Structure 1
Amino acid sequence: MTSRAPQKPSVIIIGTGFGGLGMAIQLKKAGYEQITLLEKEGAVGGTWRDNTYPGAACDVQSHLYSYSFEPKHDWSRKFGLQAEILGYMEHCVKKYDLARHIEFDRAVATASFDSQSNEWVVGTESGHEYRADVLITATGQLNRPAIPAIPGIDRFKGTCFHSARWNHDYDVTGKRVAVIGTGASAIQFVPEITPKVAALDLYQRSAAWVLPKADRPFTALEQSLFRKLPAWDRLYRAMIYWKNESRGLAFTRFNRLLDIFARQARKEAQTWVTDPHKLKHIIPDYRIGCKRILISNDWYPAINQPHLNLITEGISEIDETGVVTSTGEHRPVDAIIFGTGFKATEFLSPIKITGRQGVALNDAWADGSKAFKGITVNGFPNLFMLYGPNTNLAHNSILFMLESQFRYVISSLDSLARYPGAAMEVREDRQSRYCQVVQHSLENSVWDSGCTSWYLDEHGRNTINWPGFTFSYRFSTRAADTADYQFLEPEAGR
């Protein structure tokens, strides 16, 4: 391949959550100016824009759930609330002059690689078309609400919504409410609405392990120290990081260490829940850590309320006035709220992505999602994914993983800049070998202990979690090795 004068490639980023915004900031810092961010909604924020349900908050400590290059010294609490996190993201947009790069109300429908020009052609639902050398997806894993296919759901005459699309016009005060699902969102909003409702039917398919949340407001003195002593702010962040990171061994290698947390969760439940029936069903029957461990200080007290009915029977159907359980009992309600999570394993859906030789990403991933370092995919040159397959965490902050990916992508783009017009594609053998190592590492993890969770795809394969320490991932993504890639000239120029 003939080297020409270096030229920084143009970039399209899909999504303006933490991944998209952080990637754009780092690209600008690295001298990339031809950047377009496409956002399907009318505002930035991703999951923190969408999830406005009562009690919405983060389960990673504030100082670690923020960019290392943009510290916030005045967090109100140890664990950030939704509005404050969203405000932080909006601050970043303003400080780094990202608004001029963002196009709102541009839901991406298609993205196709043009081999003749080595460009990505992106089409939106609104009919707009964009072209760029590089496509970076930052759509996240928790952006498409999952609504269970319950018969009769369309017949319900009351109010019905998903927690990620909270209906703030509906007042639950004095109403009979059914909540379906007991995942991370329900853990937060159920305690908020329980004091207001007349009755709450909580439908639980499987219980969650819930630990106390070490949360409290920061004092004015603490905030002042963070501001006046940046070194203390950085040290505090580092202490949180290493404390969280130490738990990685328990998830991936020494599962028995998690039994300590199981005993703590049982003790919490026994302290707060006095109803024997509820206590029996609120403690899980699977290994702690197999599904996401949740943290809350008010979940068990809410469960113990006499007007909260914990229902563990399955749902057979929904009719005009309520929910019918598998035992045939009809339970009338005024509203149904789904706390049923997201379609996490359907990466990049519903966007139709087409790579070289017309191969659709869905077809390439027919046997499960696979990506080299969770970022690049064979057959899809110049496509980089943030928060892709096997990059999720159960023990630390996803922003640490994202920042590792930012660095890797920029290293890749710097390589591309040396060959203007070329496209880089990960070699199939490197991708296969990498994915085999990841899957082999997952075999000894707690996520492989037999439960059914959103970590597993339809084939029972864990395509979500990273099976190791975050610092090992950062080391492996410190720079792109061009030996892992082939560089392709435009077909029209061959």
Structure 2
Amino acid sequence: MPSEHHDAVIVGAGFAGIGAAIQLKRLGYENIVILEREDDLGGTWYVNHYPGLAVDVPTTTYSYYFEPNPNWSRLFTPGPEIKQYADHVADKYDVRRHIRYNTVVEGARWDEDASLWRIALRDGATVSARFLLTATGFLSQPKVPEIAGIETFEGKVIHTTEWEDDFDAAGKRIAVIGTGATAVQLIPELAKRAADLTVYQRTPIWVVPKIDVRFGERAKRLFARVPVTQRVIRWLTDSIYEVMVSVAVRHYGTFRGRFNISAADLSKIHRFATIRDKDLRRRLTPDYDFGCKRPTFSNGYYRAFTKPHVHLQDAGIARIEADGIVGNDGGKNVVDTLVLATGFDLWEANFPAVEIIGRDGRNLGKWWRETRFQAYQGVSMPYFPNYLSLASPYAFLGLNFFNTMEYQMRLMDRLFSEVKRRGATTFEVTEQANTAFLDRMTELLGESLFTMGNCATARSYYFNPAGEPTLLRPSSTESAIKEASEFPLSDYQIV
């Protein structure tokens, strides 16, 4: 039986996949399908629904620029509202009808004779497409810690990406493993009801106060009736974050880390004002520079540790037994619930999230690991025709994924418009353009926090397994959007 064929297949129905579909539809492509492994859209904002979930950048910034939302309830909006926004956008731009749920992609291979991609699905079916776009996100593959004996634990085990909404922490003895951004949001909520809560910390995290405000009905009406008011607020929050990233990360060497020191001092004051125990403050203080690992905002995280039933364990875990956790210090903590706030496997399982075999049999994951993690403009690789990877090295822009999507949609517009204009069959970035872009990114990282700062102990997902900080694109949002709109078309071989 012949395989099903489409103009384009998009893998993933999160905000990247939705944005890619909107751009393709603008360009006149209607025969597209989005393959989504979950049973609903929204990506990480559908999968994650643990208590305390909220966006950690202002929601005035966290949205498609072309589709502002006047109905946010707060500056740092709770997760369910972000999911509602994804639903609204998918409906408004007629994306939902292109989505096929509960469909797991096993891999994709470029068929050189037919000049198309053949995408293998877990159910044994095959889908072919002229264009392939993987929009699997950076935070899509949950990481389960490799701790001796974890499979022997007889109590309840919950990973934050598989939260059970009917779970009640009341009266429970809970252990939380991990102190990343997710844990910072979750721990204060668990502390409200748990009988006993122990937090297992490997690496402390920088936490600064959260200046959150509620948007009342009057503000929402103003945003809806006079959209420019919301644009102004977005410009302000965008600008603040752009300056922060520029000074603290990209141009760390130029400013000699002054902003990072000031931000670390703010976190220090926050700890001092909240926690009176000097030793506890010391144990919660990172020994790496502010910004090496994604910092976070919270008014309740440090306060949770001041409660008598909340404990910090930073001696390390020796093993897990049927009824609890044995630390490296020999002490045993008996618990009935184990919460894994261990984040995501960003590099090993996510780059790429599915096996991609390009021209001449080149395996994308193998090629990245044997050479260097690299992607022209954060989306294209040589030997992979008609393919855009929207979650690639040097793709993530600053702290806001929507700015990343904005420049990627601009690039799609320029590239696909030229392909259509020429009546071409394929596009593929040249090796020369790819190498030049990689060299430029490497040079720009030379004065960044990741190169010049003290990041050795951060254990940050900004760094790949080879120790290179290849996740973030070291350029401003304005520069990335300008490049995506004006890159030389000769950088691609369009046939």
- 2:412 is the alignment partner of 1:414: no
Q: Do structure 1's residue 371 and structure 2's residue 378 form an aligned pair?
A: no
- Within a 5 Å distance, the mapping from 1:401-480 to structure 2 comes to 401-420=404-423, 422-448=425-451, 449=453, 450-451=455-456, 452-480=459-487
Q: Secondary structure at the match of 2:447?
A: coil
Residue of structure 1 equivalent to 2:393? 389
* Distance in 2, Cα, partners of 1:98 & 1:447: 38
Alignment of 1:230-249 (within 5 A): 230-247=227-244, 248-249=246-247
State the 1:275 CA deviation: 2.0
Which of 181, 189, 193 is residue 192 of structure 1 equivalent to?
A: 189
Give the AA of the match of 1:122.
I
- Give yes or no for contact 1:180–1:339 (8 Å, CA) kept in 2: yes
Aligned to 1:6: none
What's the counterpart of residue 273 of structure 2? 271
- Does the 8 A contact of 2:184 with 2:301 survive in 1? yes
Structure-2 residue corresponding to 1:106: 103
- TM-superposition CA deviations, 1:352-373 (whole Å, max 9, x none): 1100011111121124421001
Q: Which residue of 2 aligns with 1:252?
A: 250
Post-superposition shift, 1:285? 1.2
Q: Distance in 2 between matches of 1:145 and 1:210?
A: 23
Separation of aligned partners in 1, 2:419 and 2:27 = 14
User: Which residue number corresponds to residue 359 of structure 2?
Assistant: 356
Is the 1:118–1:421 contact (alpha carbons within 8 Å) kept by the matching residues of 2? no
Q: CA deviation at 1:471?
A: 1.2
Provide the C-alpha distance between the structure 1 equivalents of 2:445 and 2:9, rounded to a whole number of angstroms: 33
Answering whether residue 315 of structure 2 is matched by residue 308 of structure 1, we say no
Amino acid at match of 1:184: A
Q: Using the alignment, how far apart are the partners of 2:397 and 2:280 within structure 1?
A: 30
Aligned mates of 2:475, 2:409 — CA distance in 1: 19
Provide the C-alpha distance between the structure 2 equivalents of 1:317 and 1:456, rounded to a whole number of angstroms. 27
For residues 326 and 393 of structure 1, do their structure 2 counterparts lie closer, same or farther at Cα, with a shift above 3 Å needed?
A: farther
Alpha carbons 2:397, 2:403 under 8 Å: kept? no
Post-superposition offset of 1:468: 2.5
Aligned alpha-carbon RMSD (Å) = 1.5
Deviation at 1:316, TM superposition (A): 1.2
Q: Deviations over 1:173-192 (max 9, x none)?
A: 11111101100000001000
Q: What is the percentage of aligned positions where both structures have the same residue?
A: 35
**Structure 1 stretch displaced more, 358-367 or 151-160:** 358-367
Closer/same/farther in 2, CA of residues 350 and 78 from structure 1, 3 Å limit:
closer
Q: Separation in 2 of the partners of 1:345 and 1:45?
A: 22
1:480–1:440 Cα change, 3 Å:
closer
Code of the aligned partner of 1:252: R
The answer (yes or no) to whether the contact 1:345–1:463 under 8 Å persists in 2 is no
Q: Distance in 2 between matches of 1:109 and 1:420?
A: 31
Structure 1 counterpart of 2:402: 399
- Cα distance, 1:479 vs structure 2: 3.8
CA contact (8 A) 2:397 2:475 kept: no
- Helix, strand or coil at the partner of 1:216: coil
After superposition, give the CA deviation of every residue in 1:402-428 in whole Å (9 maximum; x if it has no partner).
111011012211222234462111111
Amino acid at match of 1:372: Y
The whole-number CA distance in structure 2 between the counterparts of 1:351 and 1:76 is 37
Does 1:71 find its partner at 2:75? Answer: no
Could you tell me which amino acid in structure 1 is paired with residue 115 of structure 2? N
Q: Which runs of 5+ in 1 are unaligned?
A: 1-8, 489-494
Determine whether 1:320 maps to 2:322. Answer: yes
Question: Is the contact between residue 141 and residue 345 of structure 2 (CA under 8 Å) also seen in structure 1?
Answer: yes
Distance 1:117 1:480, change over 3 A: farther
With the length of structure 2 as denominator, give the TM-score of the two structures.
0.94
Is the 2:352–2:364 contact (alpha carbons within 8 Å) kept by the matching residues of 1? no
Other structure's SS at 2:312 match: strand
Question: Which structure 2 residues correspond to residues 4-15 of structure 1 after superposition, within 5 A?
Answer: 10-15=7-12
Counterpart-to-counterpart distance in 2, 1:480 and 1:44: 32
CA deviation map 1:415-451 (0-9, x unaligned): 2223446211111121112112112222321123233
| Contact kept in structure 2, 1:117 and 1:421, CA below 8 Å | no
Q: Is the 8 A contact 2:324 2:334 kept in 1?
A: yes
SS of the aligned residue for 1:463 comes to coil
Per the alignment, residue 337 of structure 1 pairs with 339
Q: Distance in 1 between matches of 2:356 and 2:465?
A: 20
Per-residue deviation, 1:480: 4.6
Determine the C-alpha separation between the residues in 2 that align with 1:109 and 1:64. Answer: 34
> Structure 1 residue 239: deviation in Å?
1.3
Offset of residue 135 of structure 1: 0.5
CA distance in 2, matches of 1:332, 1:440: 51
Mapped to 2, the partners of 1:326 and 1:212 lie a distance apart of 32
Equivalence for 1:289: 291
Is 1:412–1:480's contact at 8 Å kept on the other side of the alignment? no
Q: For the structure 1 residues 135 and 193, does the alpha-carbon distance in structure 2 shift closer, same or farther, using more than 3 Å as the test?
A: same
Aligned counterparts of 1:174 and 1:206: Cα–Cα separation in 2: 28
Q: What secondary structure does 1:443 align onto?
A: helix
| Of 46, 53, 57, the match for 1:49 | 46
TM-score normalised according to structure 1 size: 0.94
CA distance in 2: counterparts of 1:316 and 1:470, whole angstroms = 44
- Find the counterpart in structure 2 of residue 4 from structure 1: none
Residue 3 of structure 1 corresponds to none
What is the alpha-carbon distance in structure 1 between the residues aligned to residue 90 and residue 249 of structure 2?
35
Unaligned segments of structure 2, at least 5 residues: 1-5
Q: Secondary structure at the match of 1:415?
A: helix
Partner of 2:28 in structure 1?
Answer: 31
- Which residue is equivalent to 2:82? 85
Shift of 1:33: 1.2
Tell me, what secondary structure is at the counterpart of 2:137?
Answer: coil
Name the SS of the counterpart of 1:134 in structure 2. Answer: strand
When structure 1 is superposed on structure 2, of 455-464 and 339-348 the one drifting more is: 339-348
In the alignment, what sits opposite 1:380? 384
